[in-house]
Amino acid sequence: MTSKLNRRSLLTRSAAAGLLSVPAVGALAGCASGGGGGESVERGETSDDNPLGVDPEAELEVVIFDGGFGDQYALDAEAIYQESYGPVRHDKTTEIQTRLQPRMVQGDPPDVINNGGADAMDIAALIRNGQVYDLNELLDAPSLDDPSVTVRDTLMPSTVEMGQFGTEEVWRLNYAFTVYGQWYSRTALERLEVEYPRTWDEMIAVCEAAKRQGMAGWTYPGVYPYYFNFTLYPFIGKIGGVEVLQAIDNLEPNAWRHDAVRAAFEAYHELAARGYVLQGSPGMTHEESQDEWNSYHALFIPNGSWVENESRRNTPADFDMAVGPPTGLDSSDALPFEALWASSGEPFFVPADARNPIGGLEFLRVMLGRESARNFTEQVSSLSCVRGAADGMDLPPGLASAKATFEAAGEHLFVPRLPDWYKQLNNEEIGGAVAAMMAGDLDPAEAIDRCQRAADATASDDSIQKFQHV
């Protein structure tokens, strides 16, 4: 039998016996170990059926973010895992950081964490502290359905890239494949007898038609203003090219003062100045803004493809949900109308100090199998990061639209990294500046200055790890 006694369990047992005192959480923060130092389950024998060498008797602990996707898809994957391996201890929560950060600091984390939602942990900080397990071993393993194909080769574009932070290591797996854009109701556009706007002049005309009928052109969750970035970032990239977004990601001096940024900010400011934004949006949560949108009170909402499942309860049967690429500026745009932000999202990672990290890798391998990937799509109306897994499925209208919109984009895909490289900068500083502009408190030039100052402050802060596009 393999020994399951390690440094952490020795400390725990000694503390329980009163042989040593346990330091406060704050004292442990500076000495959190990484690189698997907290493992308490040794690797077992490898075989064709068990290529990673999972201990077949060891317990696995999985914690799922209980958000728009719920947790049934994970429970179903856990059932598949348990057919070959030990029991799974499952938990779900919306308070990922609140509940799990102390366990990460103490070196006693779960084996797999779905690090999602507004209370997600800062993955860049965890990586910097050596608290995340490198997933390359998983990606180079044979896939569940075809041993001649590696897991890596089954994944959608950008999935591996989204797990990297300027190095060859892959620190997380983003399981959902998300299409970001302007979500709308086909029914609402048909009632107004308008087409989806491809240029900003057309956007103004559509919003004016909605206004005449007592309907707002846009709503958004002002409580979480970074939602606007889901359309603003690709709008900037469409106007000026992907290089503009990469300069922003790289925290380059004056990146926010590019002409493409100015044009995009001025266009969005026009929505607010003309009264096309639903009153009260600055104070709404994501659910409240979605409810207003579902009630035909606004035409467009910046969102990701999780919205169909998240708002399903309040979506009218005749809504006919769809998503389009961000409306372009005009014929001078650097990239075609079809260009959009589409990338893997809904992050999972295995903590370096997990008791059963190999089991965690195997659980993710199960999730990346065709059966689990198709079940995920059926359960939550979202594409997974598994290439072709949704082919031939009868998809709901929003997801069918997202799939078609993604395929129409071809190679013209944006993958902004600011949101995950610099979470606070993206969510609070940039999101806050855009929110203030949309609420009428800043003009575009002031909002841009605020964004640039925040980016410069991040760039000059030596305590923040920096990343670069390679």
Note the pLDDT of residue 433.
Answer: 96
Domain 183-343+412-460, architecture per CATH: 3-Layer(aba) Sandwich (3.40)
Q: For residue 99, what are its two tokens?
A: 């509940």
pLDDT of residue 395: 94
d(CA 160, CA 139) in angstroms, rounded, equals: 9
pLDDT (average), residues 8-36: 32
Residue 138 has pLDDT above 70, yes or no: yes
- Is residue 2's pLDDT more than 50? no
User: Are 393 and 400 spatial neighbours (Cβ–Cβ below 8 Å)?
Assistant: no
The residue-averaged pLDDT of 162-182 equals 93
**Do residues 173 and 349 make contact, with C-beta atoms less than 8 angstroms apart?**
yes
Q: With 80 as the cut, is the pLDDT of residue 15 above it? A: no
Is residue 269 within 8 Å of residue 444, measured between CB atoms? yes
pTM reported for the whole predicted model: 0.80
- pLDDT given for residue 35 in this prediction: 38
Within 10 angstroms of residue 461's Cβ, the number of other Cβ atoms is 12
Q: How many helices (H) and strands (E) does the chain have?
A: 21, 11
Tokens of 78: 């856990």
The answer to whether 47-178+345-400 and 183-343+412-460 have equal CATH topology is yes
CATH topology of domain 47-178+345-400: D-Maltodextrin-Binding Protein; domain 2 (3.40.190)
* 256-292: b (≥16 Cβ within 10 Å) or e: bebebbbbbbbbbbebbeeebbbeebbebebebbbbb
Which tens digits make up the pLDDT trace of 255-289? 999 999 999 999 999 999 999 999 999 999 999 99
Nearest alpha-carbon partner for 231 in 103, 329, 127: 329
Domain boundaries, the chain: 47-178+345-400, 183-343+412-460
pLDDT digits over 327-358, tens only? 999 999 999 999 999 998 899 999 999 999 99
Give the span between the Cα atoms of 269 and 267, in whole angstroms: 5
Per-residue pLDDT averaged across 435-449, rounded? 96
